[in-house]
Amino acid sequence: MAYTILILVTHINLGIVKLISEKGGVNLSLKSERINIGNGIHLNLIKTSKFKSNLLSFYFLRPLSKEEVTRNALIPLILKRGSKEFPNNLSIQKKLEESYGADLSIAINKRGEKHVLRFTVESINGDYIGDKNYIYGVMELLKSIIYNPVLENGYFKKDYVEQEKENLRRRIEGRINEKRSYALDRCIEEMCKNEKYSIYPLGSIEDLNILDEKALYEHYLSVVKTSPVEIFFVGDYDHNIISYIKEIPDLNRGEILSLPREQITSGVKTKNMVSEDLDVTQGKFVLGFRTGIPYEDKLYRGLIVGSDILGGGPNSKLFKNVREKESLAYYITSTIHKYKSLMLVDGGIDFGNFERAIDIVKEQIAEVQKGNFSEDDMEISKKSITSSTESIRDSIFLISEYFFSQKLSNDYRSLTEIVDDINSVTKEEVVEAMSKLALDTIYFMKNSKMMG
Amino acid sequence: MDTKTYMNERIKEKLDYKKMESGLKVYFIPKKGYTKQYAIFATDYGSIDNMFTPVGEKGKIELPEGIAHFLEHKLFESPDNSIFDRFSQLGADVNAYTNFNRTAYLFSSTENFYESLGLLIDFVQSPYFTDENVNKEKGIIGQEINMYLDNPGWRVYFNCLKAMYHKHPVRIDIAGTVDSIEGITKELLYKCYNTFYNPSNMVLFVIGDLDFEEILKVVDKAEKKKSNETNNIERFFPKEPREIREKLIEENMLTSTPIFYIGFKDSDIGYSGEKSVKKDLVTDLVLDILFGTSSKFYNDLYEEGLIDSSFGAIYTGDKTYGHSLIVGESKEAKKVYERVVQLIKRPSEELFTEIDFERIKNKAMGEFLMGLNSVEFIGNTFIDLYFSDFLIVDYLDLLESISYGDVIERFTEHLVEDSMVLSIINPLAK
C-alpha cells in the first residue's frame, strides 16, 4: 500500500482527551460486566458480535516514578521475548501465525501520573475460519508470556535482558526522530519539572545502565504481585472462555498498590521560556497552559469545548487565523491533558514567524475568553466531540480502552450521560473555563543556522 | 442502468454497485450495527501523473511537481469559503489525501450522513481557483513540505526511490518542493482539474449502516449532470530503464540511529486487474516468509543486535512501477544489506518450505479479515484495489488461490542482487 499525505486535519493521537458517548437504541448499547477474580484483579467482559475478531487485554498499573519507570518499561519488552511454553520469539510468532495472524501487542504508556503496561492479543472470530477452539491457544500464549517467563539461574535470561536494554536505549534516543511529539514532550518536561508527569514513560538511559537480569526479575515479581490489574475481553464469549481467562496464577498477592489521584496545580509561579537549537527545517512551538480545572469538576466540560473552539478542527479559531488567513502553519492545534488539567497549543512554522504566530494564538485565546464566538461555533465543537467519541464503539480496541479509562478516572457515568453533559455546556461555562488558562511554559524548536 | 450486487459469504460482506448516467461509479458496503459512516470520492490521478494531454488539447504538457497535491488542497475553496464550516456544522470530519496514483476526498460521520455526502460530491465538482487563493496556499503547503523534510523516515524512503528510478516520477516528492510549487497557477490547476476530475475517471465508495437507494438519490441530486466522458486520458511516462540508477544513497540529518531502506526494483510490471493484485499479494508473502517476524533471518539478526522490532518488508507498486522495500533501523545498515544479499543467493527450496508458506498465508488471510472491522480500512483498501481493476470482495479468494509454486517463481525472478539499492540516513556527526 502506498504512502499517503494526509492534509488538513492532522490527527495525531497523543492519548489525551477521549470522551465517549452513546446513541440510543438497543443494539448500540455497550455494557461491561466487571468481575473480581483475584486480589486487585478485575475481569471486564464486553459482549458483542459486531466484530470479526475478539480482543483480550491485560493492563498492569504502576505509579509513574523515577525509581521504577525504566524497570517497568523493560519488563514487557523482556517478557515478549519468550516464555516457558514458547521459549523464543520464533516460537511465539509461529504460534500467532498458525492462529490465523493473531496480533500480539504490548504498550508502555503514561496516563496522568500512572504508568500503564498493556499486553493484548486480538484474534479472528472462529466463525470465519471454521475453528472455534483455536482461541484457547491464543489466550494461553498471552498468559504464558505474562506469567511464565523464561528463566535462567532463577532470573530473567541474560541475553534477552541485554538485547532489550539496547533496544530500549535506541528507542529512548529515537524520541528526536518525531519532531512534533518530541516538542510536546519537551514542553511538558520543562513545565512539570517538579511533578511526576514530566517523567518520560520509556525511562532514562542512566537507569538502564545499572539494571541487570536479577534486579529486573525481582521488580517483575513485584509488578505481578502488587499492581492493580484490569483484564478486558471484547467479543463473543461463553462460559468456557470466561473460566479459562479466570485461571491465572495466584502468586500470593498481598498488599495491592493504591495509586493516588494526580495533583493539579493552578496558576503559575514562574514563567518559563525554553528553546532548543536543532538541525531542523521547520520551526516548532508549544505553549503550555495550566487550567487548574480537575476533570471531576463540572467546568472541565466547558474546557473541553473551549479548547476545541480554539484549536480543535478546521473550524477552530487557530486553524482559521494562523493557517487559513495568514498561511503561517500547516498544523496548529490545541489539546487537553486530562489527568493534569493542562492545555497545550502547538504549531509548525518558519523560524522567522515565531512571534507573529504566538501573538495570534494569544489574541485568539483572548477572543474566546471574551466570549467572541458564536452559538454555531459551540454547536460545531459539541458535534465534533460527540462524533469522534461515538466512533469509538466501532473499534474493538478503543472499546476496551474506554472502559479502562472509566476505571482510571473513577467516572462511571453512562455513555449517554457523558454526551448529554457535553451538550449541556453553556457559553458562560466555556468563557469561565478558558479564563482560567495560565501560560506556564513556551517551548521553541529552532535552528540558528537557518535563522541568520 | 448498470446495477449489481456482489456477495461474499466467507467474509460475510455485500457490495452494491451502480453506474450513474454521468459515468460515475458508486459502490456501497452496508455495515449493520456500525455507528460510523464513511464516504470516499476518489480520482485516478496522483503525483506521478504530471505529464499528459489536457482535455480538449493536443500534445502533451509537463506540470510542476506537486500539482496533484496542491489541487487537492485547493478544491476545499469556494466563493464564500465555507466548505469546512458546512462539514463542521453537520458534525462530519472531512479530509483528503494524495499519493502517487490517486487523490481522495473523504469524510466520516455519525449523523447527517446524507447531507454530508451531497456536500462532498458538490465541493469536489465545484472548483474555485483564484490568483489570490492559489498564492495563499503556497505558504501552507511550504510548511507541510518542511515538516516532511524534518522526518527521517520520509527522507530515507524518497532517497531509496531516487536510487532505484532514473526518470519515473515516482521518484519525485508527492507534495513537490518549495520551489516547484511556486510555478503553480490557477490556469494550470484548471487544466488538471478538467482532465482528471471527470466522473468517468472517478469512483465513489460508501460504507456504514445506510441505505443504498437513499445514497443513489443523493448522488443523483448532487452530481454535475454534464459529463465530457474522457475514458482514455493520455498520460505519458518517461522511458524508465530496467536497471537501478545508483546502488547507494547516504545522507546525514537529525536522527538518533541510522535508518535504512533496501529497495528491489521490479522489472515485471505493466499489469492491471487480478494479475497485478495477485503479484502484489504473492510478493508480500515472499517477503513475509523471508523477512517476517517468524523468519530465521529476522530472528538471527535481532539476536545479533543488527535489527530491532522496527524491521519489516513490503511490496508496493502500480502499473508503471513497483518495488519491494526492506526497512528498519540499524547501527550497521550495510551489514544488514550484505546479509540480505547472502540470503537471496541461497536456493529457493532451502528458503521456502510448504509449511511456512501455508502458515504465512493463513496469517495474511486472518489479518485481512480483521481489517474488515474498520470502515476506514475497507474504504481505503477498496479504493486502492478499485483503481487496479479489482474488487475488495474477491480479495480473500484470490489470496487463498495462491500456490507454493507462485511464491518460488516470484522470489526467483524478483529478488536479485542487480535490482537492489540501499538508502541510509545517518545521524549528524557529533
pLDDT for res A388: 78
Mean per-residue pLDDT of chain A: 90
Between A388 and A384, name the one with better pLDDT.
Answer: A384
What residues are paired with B16 via a beta bridge? B5, B28
What distance in Å separates residue B59's CA from the closest CA in chain A? 30
Q: B137 pLDDT exceeds 80?
A: yes
- Best of B87, B110, B383 to substitute, by most chain A Cβ atoms within 10 angstroms, is B110
Say which of A28, A51, A326 has its CB closest to residue B35: A28
Residues of B in contact with A179 (CB under 8 A): 150-151
Residues of B in contact with A326 (CB under 8 A): 139
Query: Residue B162: enclosing H or E segment and its boundaries?
Result: helix B152-164
Centre a 10 Å sphere on the Cβ of residue A20 and count the other Cβ atoms it contains: 25
Please compute the mean of the pLDDT values over residues B167-185 and round it to a whole number.
Answer: 96
What distance in Å separates residue B44's CA from the closest CA in chain A? 14
Q: B270 pLDDT exceeds 70?
A: yes
Share of chain A above pLDDT 90, in %: 82
What distance in Å separates residue B363's CA from the closest CA in chain A? 4
Query: Is B316 at the interface with chain A, CB within 8 A?
Result: yes
Q: A14 pLDDT exceeds 60?
A: no
Closest CA to A227 of A141, A145, A140, A117: A117
Give me A44's grid cell: 471486564
Domains, chain B: 2-222 (3.30.830.10), 248-427 (3.30.830.10)
* Rounded Cα distance, A152 and B190, in Å: 69
Residues of B in contact with A51 (CB under 8 A): 373
CB contact under 8 A, A330 and B140: yes
CB contact under 8 A, B95 and A386: no
Please compute the mean of the pLDDT values over residues B135-145 and round it to a whole number.
Answer: 93
Residues of B involved in catalysis: 72
Please compute the mean of the pLDDT values over residues B303-308 and round it to a whole number.
Answer: 95
Q: A229 pLDDT exceeds 80?
A: yes
Give me B243's grid cell: 536497471
Please compute the mean of the pLDDT values over residues A422-442 and round it to a whole number.
Answer: 97
Q: A10 pLDDT exceeds 90?
A: no
B270: left (phi over 0), alpha (psi -120 to 50) or beta: left
Query: Is B293 at the interface with chain A, CB within 8 A?
Result: yes
What is the phi/psi pair of residue A333, to 5°? -140, 165
Nearest 5°: CA angle at A93, between A87 and A98?
115
Mean per-residue pLDDT of chain B: 95
SS3 B336: helix
Share of chain B above pLDDT 90, in %: 92
Radius of gyration of chain A (CA): 23
Query: What band does A249 get if pLDDT is binned at 50, 70 and 90?
Result: confident
Q: B194 pLDDT exceeds 60?
A: yes
What residues are paired with B322 via a beta bridge? B317
Q: A13 pLDDT exceeds 70?
A: no
CB contact under 8 A, A89 and B293: yes
Q: Does domain A30-246 have CATH number 3.30.830.10?
A: yes
Query: Residue B69: enclosing H or E segment and its boundaries?
Result: helix B67-74
Q: A5 pLDDT exceeds 50?
A: no
Query: Is B355 at the interface with chain A, CB within 8 A?
Result: no
Residues of B in contact with A234 (CB under 8 A): none
Give me B47's grid cell: 503525483
Q: B225 pLDDT exceeds 80?
A: no
What residues are paired with B313 via a beta bridge? B326
* Rounded Cα distance, B12 and B289, in Å: 28
Q: Which B residues 22-41 touch A at CB under 8 Å?
A: 33-36
Q: Which B residues 376-405 touch A at CB under 8 Å?
A: 380-381, 384
Q: For residue B247, what are the contacts with CB-CB under 8 A and spacing of at least 6?
A: B163, B420, B421, B422
Q: What is the pLDDT of residues A194-212, one digit of tens each?
A: 999 999 999 999 999 999 9
| Strand ranges (E), B273-378 | 312-318, 321-329
- Claim: this prediction has a pTM higher than 0.95: no
Q: Which B residues 220-259 touch A at CB under 8 Å?
A: 253-257
Please compute the mean of the pLDDT values over residues B299-328 and round it to a whole number.
Answer: 96
Query: What band does A224 get if pLDDT is binned at 50, 70 and 90?
Result: very high
What distance in Å separates residue A224's CA from the closest CA in chain B? 25
> CA nearest A173 in B: which residue?
B256
- Best of A28, A81, A90, A91 to substitute, by most chain B Cβ atoms within 10 angstroms, is A90
Outline which parts of chain A fall under CATH 3.30.830.10: 30-246, 272-446
Encoded amino acid at B316, one letter: T
pLDDT for res A243: 93
Q: B181 pLDDT exceeds 60?
A: yes
B403: left (phi over 0), alpha (psi -120 to 50) or beta: beta
CA dihedral A213→A214→A219→A221, nearest 10 degrees, is: 100
Residue reference for cell 495466584 = A250
- Best of B84, B109, B156, B207 to substitute, by most chain A Cβ atoms within 10 angstroms, is B84
Q: Which B residues 110-129 touch A at CB under 8 Å?
A: 110-111
Residues of B in contact with A27 (CB under 8 A): 33
Query: Residue B68: enclosing H or E segment and its boundaries?
Result: helix B67-74
Note the Cα B88 to chain centre separation in Å: 27
Query: What band does A25 get if pLDDT is binned at 50, 70 and 90?
Result: very low
> What's the 3-state SS for chain A?
CCCCEECCCCCCCCCCCCCCCCCCCHHHCCCCEEEEEECCEEEEEEECCCCCEEEEEEEEEEECCCCCHHHHHHHHHHHCCCECCCCCHHHHHHHHHHCCCCEEEEEEEEECCEEEEEEEEEEECHHHCCCCCHHHHHHHHHHHHHHCECEECCEECHHHHHHHHHHHHHHHHHHHHCHHHHHHHHHHHHHCCCCHHHCCCCCCHHHHHCCCHHHHHHHHHHHHHHCCEEEEEEECCCHHHHHHHHCCCCCCCCCCCCCCCCCCCCCCCCCEEEEEECCCCCEEEEEEEECCCCCCCCHHHHHHHHHHHHHCCCCCHHHHHHHHHCCCCCCEEEEEEHHHCEEEEEEEECHHHHHHHHHHHHHHHHHHHCCCCCHHHHHHHHHHHHHHHHHHHHCHHHHHHHHHHHHHHCCCCCHHHHHHHHHCCCHHHHHHHHCCCEEEEEEEEECCCCCC
Centre a 10 Å sphere on the Cβ of residue B79 and count the other Cβ atoms it contains: 8
Query: Is B77 at the interface with chain A, CB within 8 A?
Result: no
How far from each other are the two terminal CA atoms of chain B, in whole angstroms? Answer: 68
pLDDT for res A452: 55
Residues of A in contact with B139 (CB under 8 A): 326-328
Please compute the mean of the pLDDT values over residues A223-250 and round it to a whole number.
Answer: 93
* Rounded Cα distance, B345 and B416, in Å: 8
- Best of B179, B363, B426 to substitute, by most chain A Cβ atoms within 10 angstroms, is B363
What distance in Å separates residue A350's CA from the closest CA in chain B? 7
Q: For residue A4, what are the contacts with CB-CB under 8 A and spacing of at least 6?
A: B97, B98, B99
Q: What is the pLDDT of residues A262-289, one digit of tens each?
A: 999 887 777 899 999 999 999 999 999 9
Query: Are the CB atoms for B310 and B329 separated by under 8 Å?
Result: yes
User: Number of Cβ pairs closer than 8 Å across A and B?
Assistant: 228
CB contact under 8 A, B370 and A52: yes
Q: A449 pLDDT exceeds 90?
A: no
Q: A2 pLDDT exceeds 70?
A: no
> CA nearest B284 in A: which residue?
A1
What distance in Å separates residue B396's CA from the closest CA in chain A? 12
* Architecture label for domain A272-446: 2-Layer Sandwich (3.30)
How does strand A283-290 pair with strand A438-446? antiparallel
Query: What band does B227 get if pLDDT is binned at 50, 70 and 90?
Result: low
Query: Is B354 at the interface with chain A, CB within 8 A?
Result: no
Residues of A in contact with B255 (CB under 8 A): 174, 176-177
Say which of A100, A349, A383 has its CB closest to residue B366: A100
Q: What is the pLDDT of residues B365-395, one digit of tens each?
A: 999 999 999 999 999 999 999 999 999 999 9
Give me A319's grid cell: 486553524
Q: What is the pLDDT of residues A355-381, one digit of tens each?
A: 999 999 999 999 999 999 999 999 999
Say which of A27, A387, A393 has its CB closest to residue B93: A387
SS3 B131: helix
Query: Are the CB atoms for B291 and B254 separated by under 8 Å?
Result: no
What distance in Å separates residue A214's CA from the closest CA in chain B? 20
> CA nearest A54 in B: which residue?
B370
